[in-house]
Each structure stands twice: as C-alpha cells, then as structure tokens.
Chains A and B, each alone.
Chain A
Amino acid sequence: MSRKKIVCILVVLGCLLCVVWRPQRITLKIGIFAGSNWDVPNGDCYKIIDQAIERYEEENPDIHIEYESGILKDDYSEWLSAQYLKGEEPDIFMVLSEDFNTLSALGALKNLDDFMQKDSQFHSDDYYENALLAGQYQHHQYALPYESNPTLMFVNQTLLQKENIDLPSNDWTLDDFYNICQQVTKDTNNDGQIDQYGCYNYDWLDSVYSHEVSLFDETGQTCYLNQKPVKNAIAFIQRLNQLNKGYTVTSQDFDTGKVAFSPMPFAQYRTYKPYPYRVQKYSQFEWDCVPMPGMTESRSEVSSLLMGISARTSYGQRAWDFLKLLTYDQETQESLFRYSEGISSLKTVIQSTEALSLLNEESLGDTQVDLSLLNDVMENAMNQNQFRKYNATLTMMDTQIQQMIQNNEDLDLSLMSLQNEVNEYLRE
C-alpha cells in the first residue's frame, strides 16, 4: 500500500513539475529556402520573411519564430522530406509544387478548411480562384499560395517591327498567334534555309492550356487524352512545327533575336526587363510580354509557391495566424513586388495602388504589362490537376507526345493507346 502511495505521489509531483516548468515561450519553426522559386537571381530572399517574423513577434511576444537559413531550392525538397522522416518538420513551410501532391496524399499537411471557415477575418474570395486551387487536394485546402508566377508570352518587338506586324493585343487568339508565326517564319538571307522563326519552347502543354482542356478527372483516376480538344491542341503544335520544315529552334536562336515568341514566366520578365539584368540577356533587341494566346481569350498557366502547415504541429492556431500573415496579409503580399519576382495571389493586392506604384518604380520602360493585364491573366489562369501521380503521369505523357509531334504520327491511334497506358498506370 505504501509503495503504491509513493508511486502516486511521484507521478503527481512529476505532472506538477511539467506544468510549472513548461516552456513559457513557444517556438514556431518555419521552413523556407534561399533564392527564388522561379530560378531567377534574387538577393533579398529572406527579407519578406524576416519582416513578417518581426511583426508577428512584436504582436505575440510569447512566440519565437526561427528558421534554418541557407537551404537551396534544389535541396529543399530533400531537406523537407528528411525533416518529415525524422519527425522534426517545421510548423509552417514552403511547399514546392512538385511536392504538394505527395505531401497532401501522405496526410503530411494540415487540412486548412476548418481554419478558413472559422476565421472571420479570412475570406477565400480574396484570392484568385486558380491560385487557391493550386493548394487544394481532393477538394480540401492544404496550402495557401504565397507567391504566384503566371506565364506570359515573350514578344520580340524588333523582329515584328521589321516584318511590319503590330504588337499583338492582350486579347489575341491562337489563330492570331499562328498567323504571325507563319508570317515571320522565312529565309531572310536567301540561303535556302529558314533562319527566322515563329516561336520557341511553346510546347503541347501550353497549347493544351490555351485550348482550355482538362487532361484528367478531378480525382486523378482517369485521363482524357483521346478527345477532340486535346487532338486540336496537339495538332496545333504539329502545324506550328511544320512551319519550320523540320528544324528545331534552339535557345541560341532565341537569344540572338531570331524568334518572335516564347512563353516566359512573369518572374523572368521582371528580372530581365529592368536594369541591371537587362544588360545580361536579350540586350540586342527590344522585347515585351503579352498574355498567352487563347481560343477566345488569353489562357495561361500560373505556377504558385505554396505554404502549408505540418499536420503534426502542436500549435495549429498560431501556425495558421502566421501563415495568414505571410499569405493573406496585405503588407506582406505587397512587399513581394519589392523583394521578390513573383506576384501576389490576392486580388486586393494586385488591384491596389500600392502595387501599381511599386511596379512603376521598377521603370520597366514602355511596356504592355501592367496590373490590369496581370489581373486578367490571374483571373483566367488554368489550374493543374492535383493528385499524387500527377508529376509522374505528366512526364510519361510528355515523352510520348513529344514523339508523336516529332514523328507526325496519326493522333487518333497514338492518343488512344497512350490514354489506355496512362489510365492503366493511374489505376495501379
């Protein structure tokens, strides 16, 4: 009896000590990588986060936020996975788009639906729908877009002027695109070989986005390759390629100004358009960006850098507060224009005068790219499907479709067999 009593007393004492000496200050760990997500030079990569941390810690003196600096983007995915395996993952962290599906499928990310519903200050309508969709997996929100990067169409103005073609308007269509390509593809020095080309790097997926097709069903169980719009999209690429009479346009052709169009992420545009980087690239000709062409209106892909909360965090609410400060706060999101190359996914930020003045400060020169264009692009973005095998399936399809395009294969047969193959893989 007395032994039992002693054990009981020890247990109670232990509990009391735990309560008394529990850590007074909560430490939130965040996971971020150095440099830009869009593979462009960036010197201020920690600035936005540091400022946000400072603000958050000021408002919440009981919380300390820390992060491990110096993780490169290339190492980030491996680093985050290792942290997960060791059970030491940060509470809030950046999620690369190629990791998002895997992490969501594993249940590694916290479902944010509840937080979003309960938080009266949070309105998901403030986000561009497609940017928000990038953080959804099987109809649940697992991450919020921190930074977005829409794809624009690079236009070689010098080349178009030479050919007496006007700069395409913001609502140009695929037909306009094809016509211009046809006009500019020619042999300029009369050596019998084509040396001026319509477009570079415009691949079948861009075409699929422009044709407004969805390749998979929502759950990622079936793919719809063998349908008319997909055929049209691939046939469009085949037609574009035929203009070059079998020649494959290289990046050197593009850099030397022999190509009229090429898809270009907005981040690259913002990096290389102003000084000092404009000296480094594309300095031999005038260039600008327009939205991607579409069937009736512009359609382009938007890639997003997401941020999520670990499913195993002990401080869900605090993590949500900080996540909101990073992804939903007007001030933080506006500073993206100042210190980063991407753009905010919040409508209120894109439409604000603050953003306008920040963008003007950069002296992008005479350009067609302005906030209303960005607004349109973000509104009309095509979103990727979100399921676990998405990346692998896309790689698989890419190789085969490239082959089809190159060999000018009969699309009906090839797409049908590819569809079967992909469906088989998806059902595995």
Chain B
Amino acid sequence: MQYSYQRLLSFLRNAMTILNMLIVVFYGSVILLTTQYIVSTRLARDFLDRITHLPHQPIVAFFGSLMLYGIFIFIMYSRSEKVIAHKRLNFIYSFIEMIVSFTLIYFLYMEYNGILLLVFCDCIFHLRDGRYSKWFIWVLVVAYLISSYDVFSAIFPLTSINEYFQIYGSQINGIFMMSKSCLETLNMILFIAFMIVYLVDEIQKNQHISQELDMVHQVNKELENYAAITEKIGENNERKRLAREIHDTLGHALTGIAAGVDACIAMIDQNPKATKAQLQVISKVVRQGIKDVRNSLNKLRPGALEEHSLKEAIERMIGEFSSVSDLTIALDYEPGDVDLEKTKEDILFRIIQESITNALRHGHATEVHIQVYQENHFLYLKIQDNGIGCDDVHYGFGLTQMRERLAVINGQVEFDGSHGFLTVAKIPI
C-alpha cells in the first residue's frame, strides 16, 4: 500500500518535471525565435516602442533557462537519503532549488511560475521535519506570489513576454496563447493530483499511526494491571515471610520462654536451685531469640548494603538512577572509613534514595548534588537538586518517614524548596 503511493507520487513528480521542461523550452524558443523573426522582418524599432523595458539577451535567456533547469533537475534528483536525513542540509537543498527556479522564471520574464509548484512538490516530497518545512513553505508561497509578472513588474519593470507573442498577429498569437494555457493548466492539474495523492497518503499514514497508538495504549494498560497484581503477590509473599520469620524466631523463643517461666513459677518455692538453672536456660533462649531477630532484620536490609560499603552502595544506586533517567548525579563523599552502625547506614541510604526519587518525580530536576561530610561528631548529608522546588514544603509520606527514621537515631532533618530542593540531614556519630 505504502509502496504504491510512493511510486505514484514519484511518477507524478517525474511527469511534472518533463512537462516543465517542455514549458521552459517552449518559452525559451519563443524568445529566441521571435527575436530572430523580429530582426528579419525589420520590426525591431516598432518592437522597442511597444515594450517597457530592455529585454534580456535572447541567447542568454534561452540557454540560461535551459541550463538552470538542468541544474534544478540535478539538485532535485541528487538528493540522497543521507541529505534528507540531515535536516539543515535538506533545507539548504530546497532553498537552492527555489533560488535556481526563481532565477529561471526571471529569465523567462516572470511569465511562467509553475516551476515553483514543482519545487513545492519536491520539497513536500522530501521535507519531513516540521519546523524548517513550515517556514520554507511560507517562503515558497511568497516567492510564488511575487513571481507572477503583474506583481513583479510593478516593483521591477520588466518586459512582458506577451509582447513577443503579439508581434505575430492575432491568429498565431491565439495559437501560442492556447498552447501556453494548455501547458500551464496541465501542470496545475498534475500539481493538484500530486497534492491529493500526498494528502491521501498522509491521512492514511495518520490513521495507521493512531491505530498503532491505540494498541500500545491497550498493552500499556494490561502491563499496569499485571504490575499491580505482581506487586500484590509480592506484598503477600513478604507478609507471609515476615509471619514465618516471626513465628520461627520470636514465636519459637517466646513460647519456650513462656513455658520455661511457667516451670520456674511452679518450681521456685520447692527448688530454687533448679529454678535458677532453669532461668539460666531461659536467659540463653532469650539471647538466642535476640540473635534470631537480628538475623531476620538483617535479611530485610537493602540488598546493596548487604554486600558493599555505604559509599559503594550509594554509587551503585546513583548508577542505576542515571542509567534509567536523564538525571546527572554528583556524589561528594568525604568520610572515609567512619564506622557507622548498620541502622544509620540503612537510614542514610534510604534518605538518599527517597530524595533522588523526589527530585525526579516532583522536582523534574536534571541535576542532583549529594554531599556527605563529617563535622563535630555529626555526619551531615546534603542533597541539592535543580528542579522546580516548592514554595512551602508539604510533608507527605516520604518526608514524614524520613523524619521519623532520623528521630529513631536522634538525627534531624531540614528541607528547603526555594532554589530547587535541598535536604539537609544531621546524624550524630
């Protein structure tokens, strides 16, 4: 389908090219041969009295217009795919095409401006980029308006080619006018046909695209649903795992402790020694329980922190963010080997993660600068983005959680949304 339209378009363009060549030859010959006719019939002085401006040299008009038409065709057909892909070069090609054809029209005394229609077709055929082509089409329309004899000669006086026709008397003049009119109308018809085919092609293409877009929409929706379901399943799984963990560790330990304590209550009056031993055992179980709980908590830590140091984990996270978005993130990590508790590391990591997410999601920032430094027994974390910021900070879930998390380790946090968004966290070491 697509293929046949393209073929039809290029067929119409070729037909116009040939027709325009005929017209150029026609006008050029009229100028050249009529001049010879005028000279040989000794009508030159009368002719000078009729015209309003000195005509071009006929040889120059004839060969000049043919040569320009040759150049025009060369430019038109030498526009390779490489040129079309290069927007500016493509535009320059179109512009040269227009200049050449305008000069050609000038050589033919502004009588025939149908060549600009061919330029129009050719450019529509090639210009794909919106911005340049819109301007260019305006320029072409203006050129088309100016290039008519009546308009142009009002500004720059010019001989009318009709004077050349009229020298022959009404009968031959009539024949000339008829052939001229036929050729020009034919060109116009070809132009209209070209435009119709082009528009039909465009409309069909658009329909095609909108159909495809619909399909993409549908697929997207399905994906979203799927993602939601997956999330739910994950949440459920996590819940089950937590329950199992609690059941296996705390539940187990607490049951044992409860049973042990019951036994102690029963035994304490009769055999305090055995009770003491029993309590020793319970104490062991409690310690074991604490160990188990800690182990379980460790399992809930961010994956990156489990295997790497804090700095490496942050860098890794930055790398992941950068690779999925246009965000440029700079990290300035000063404290070398400060031994931080795992909880603090976790919280720091989460704050950075949350801040970058906010910068991206709410601030639409393109750059984020992260600074981690140590000062007077405090660790400072500064995160500045270049996003839109906000006039007053609204505490949503993320920021509240950040504050709460820090409060657990006696830390403080401040936010400022006046120039981008700034988050400053202060953590005691």
Contacts and interface: CB of A to CB of B under 8 A. Distances in A.
Interface of A: 77-78, 81-82, 84-88, 99, 102-103, 105-108, 311-312
Q: Which of B39, B44, B57, B157 has the most CB of A within 10 A?
A: B44
Contact of A85 (B39, B52, B157): B39
B145 interface: no
Contacts of B246: none
A78 B54 contact: no
A82 B54 contact: no
Interface in B139-159: 157
Contact of B35 (A86, A108, A312): A86
Nearest to B35: A85
Given A82-B38, A82-B39, A86-B39, A77 B45 contact: yes
The majority secondary structure among interface residues of chain B is helix
B7 interface: no
Contacts of B35: 85-86
A87 B45 contact: no
A90 B44 CA distance: 16
Interface string B41-57: 01011011101111111
B60 interface: yes
Interface in B1-56: 35, 38-39, 42, 44-45, 47-49, 51-56
A103 B45 CA distance: 10
B57 A87 contact: yes
Contacts of B42: 78, 82
A87 B47 contact: no
A427 to B, nearest CB: 16
B59 interface: yes
B58 interface: yes
Contacts, number: 51
Contact of B54 (A77, A84, A99): A84
11 contacts: A78-B45, A81-B44, A81-B45, A82-B44, A85-B44, A85-B55, A86-B58, A87-B59, A88-B57, A102-B49, A103-B48
Given A81-B44, A85-B39, A107 B53 contact: yes
The majority secondary structure among interface residues of chain A is helix
Q: Which of B38, B52, B54 has the most CB of A within 10 A?
A: B54
Contact of B58 (A77, A78, A87, A107): A87
B48 A87 contact: no
Interface string B236-252: 00000000000000000
Nearest to A83: B44
Contacts of A78: 42, 44-45
Contacts of A87: 56-60
Interface in B98-129: none
Nearest to B40: A82
A86 B39 CA distance: 8
Interface in B40-86: 42, 44-45, 47-49, 51-60
Contacts of A88: 57
A84 B51 CA distance: 12
A85 B56 CA distance: 8
Given A82-B39, A86-B35, A106 B48 contact: yes
A84 B35 CA distance: 10
Given A82-B39, A86-B39, A106 B60 contact: no
B44 A311 contact: no
A98 to B, nearest CB: 9
A78 B45 CA distance: 5
B34 to A, nearest CB: 9
Per CB-CB distance, the 5 closest pairs between chain A and chain B, nearest first, are A87-B57, A81-B44, A82-B44, A82-B39, A81-B45
Contacts of B39: 82, 85-86
A266 B298 CA distance: 130
A85 B47 contact: yes
Contact of B53 (A82, A86, A106): A106
Given A108-B54, A311-B54, A84 B49 contact: no
Interface string B164-184: 000000000000000000000
A107 B44 contact: no
B168 to A, nearest CB: 15
Contacts of A82: 38-39, 42, 44
B60 A81 contact: no
A106 B53 CA distance: 4
B48 A81 contact: yes
Interface string B218-251: 0000000000000000000000000000000000
